[in-house]
Amino acid sequence: MSNKDLFIERRDQGDFAVRRANAERASAVAPTQAKAIAEARRLEPDATILVERVRYTTAGKPDKWRKP
């Protein structure tokens, strides 16, 4: 993980937070995953963005991270 990594994760409220690694607070909050990804790209255009998987698929479980 580098300082430019941004993580998109679903919050208990149902919206999505944009966070840096080990951050206590979100850098941004958006109502949808797509809007959170767009906000992360706006905040840090060169960042590696990783999205929390929110459902079970053949490729993984909700606890896995993927690139958008």
In a domain, 60, yes or no: yes
In a domain, 22, yes or no: yes
In a domain, 17, yes or no: yes
Domain count, the chain: 1
pTM, two decimals, is: 0.79
Provide CB contacts within 8 A for 44, sequence distance 6+: 4, 6
**Segment 35-42 long-range contacts (CB within 8 Å, at least 24 positions apart):** 36/8, 37/8, 37/68, 40/6, 40/8
In a domain, 1, yes or no: no
| 19-54 pLDDT tens trace | 998 899 999 999 999 999 999 999 999 999 999 866
pLDDT for the residue numbered 42: 96
For residue 63, name the pLDDT band (cuts at 50, 70, 90). Answer: low
pLDDT for the residue numbered 8: 93
Instruction: From 36, 37, 64, select the one nearest 52 (Cα to Cα).
Output: 64
Range(s) of the domain holding residue 62 = 6-66
In a domain, 43, yes or no: yes
DSSP 57: B
